[in-house]
Amino acid sequence: MTQNAACQVLTAGFSFHRKPFHMSRSDGVQNYLLRLQSEGKSRTMVDGILSTVESGNLMLFAPNDPYYLGIEKEEYPAGKPRVESGDYHIFCGGPWIEEWWSRRKRPFLLKLPPNEHFLGLFRQLVLEHRRLSDSSPEISACYLQIICLEIDRLMNDQPTVSPKGYLAYRMKQYVEEHAAYPVRLEEVAAHVDISVSRAVHLFKEAFGISIVKYVNEVRLEMARERITFSPMPLEHVSETCGFANYTYFHRIFRSRFGMSPKQYRIYSREQQVDTSPPDKAKGASS
C-alpha cells in the first residue's frame, strides 16, 4: 500500500478480460475508485439503468456507492463477436481526495473519447505502484493528484448538450494532440467519421474559430512556451511546433503577439520568464 498523509493510493492495476465477467456490490465500494476503460466495452449501473462503458470512458465511485461491472461478448466491426475489455483501476483515499471529491458533483460515468495523454497518466501510476525496490509513495500520490485535476479539466471541457458538441470536442482534442505534425482537415474529419464540410461547420459552431486557425493557435502557444523556457534555435522551434517554414511562423507569431519570435525571447528573459502574453508592442521591428 502506498501511504501519504493527504493522498493514498491503496491499490492500482490493469485488468484485461477475454471471458464474461460480473461483479456486483450493493453495499458499495469501501474506498474511492477511479476506473478508466482502456479497451473494448463493459457495462455499469447509472441511476438504476444499465449503461455501456466504451473505450476512454471513466467511472467514478465514492465509498458506499453501489458498484456493478459487467463484461459480455460484444459485436465489433471486424471479426466475430468476442469478449475483449481492458481497464485501469485505482482505489484511493485520504483527506486530499475527500476534499477534491466534494468540490463538485461527480457522475458515476463520464463519457470521454479515447485520450492517450489521460491514459498515460493511469499507466504511469500503475507502473510506479508496481515497483518493488524503489517505489515512491510521494510519486504515486502526485500522479493521483494530477489525474484528479485532469478529471476536473475534462469535465469542464466536456460538451454537455448534444452529440454534435461531442464530435466537436473530439476534433478539438485530436488537433491538440497532433498540432506538432502536419494536420489535414480530412484527417480531423475522419477521426470522428464525418465529412470535411460537416467537420468544419461543427467545429466553428462549437468553438467560434475555424479548425485551421485553432491549429495555428495551439502551435503558437507551443512555440511561445519553447521560446521562453528553452534555448532551442528559433528555426527549430518553428519546425518542432508544426510550421511548414520559418517565414510563415515569423509572420503569424508577430501578428499574434505583437513582436517577432526573437524579440519575444528577449522580452521573456527580461521579464524573468513571465509567460503571460505581452500587449502588442507599438512599432516593433523584426
Provide DSSP, 183-246.
--HHHHHHHTT--HHHHHHHHHHHHSS-HHHHHHHHHHHHHHHHHHH----HHHHHHHTT-S-H
**Which ranges of the chain does DSSP label H, i.e. alpha helix?**
95-102, 116-130, 137-157, 163-178, 185-191, 196-207, 211-229, 234-240, 246-257, 261-270
Q: Averaged over 136-140, what is the pLDDT? A: 83
Arithmetic mean of pLDDT, 195-202: 94
pLDDT of 9 higher than 70? yes
- Domain extents for the chain? 8-157, 163-208, 221-270
Q: Using the predicted structure, report yes or no on whether residue 107 has a pLDDT greater than 70.
A: yes
Kindly state the cell numbers that stand for 160: 454537455
Asked if the model's pLDDT at residue 280 lies above 70, the reply is no
Least-confidence region, from 15-19, 28-32, 163-167:
163-167
5: pLDDT confidence band, cut at 50, 70 and 90? low
Render pLDDT for 111-129 as a digit per residue (tens, 0 to 9).
Answer: 877 778 899 999 999 988 8
Fold (CATH) for 8-157: Jelly Rolls (2.60.120)
pLDDT value of residue 219: 95
At residue 93, does pLDDT exceed 60?
yes
The confidence band for 132, taking pLDDT boundaries of 50, 70 and 90, is low
For 221-270, which CATH superfamily applies?
Homeodomain-like (1.10.10.60)
The neighbour count for residue 32, using CB atoms within 10 Å, is 24
SS3 assignment, position 14: strand
Query: Which of the four pLDDT bands, split at 50, 70 and 90, describes residue 59?
Result: very high
Which DSSP helix (H) or strand (E) runs through 86?
strand 85-93
- Rounded CA gap, 201 and 195, in Å? 10
- Against a cut of 0.85, is the pTM above it? no
C-alpha 236/C-alpha 226 separation (Å) is 10
Q: Side chain identity at 199, as an amino acid letter? A: A
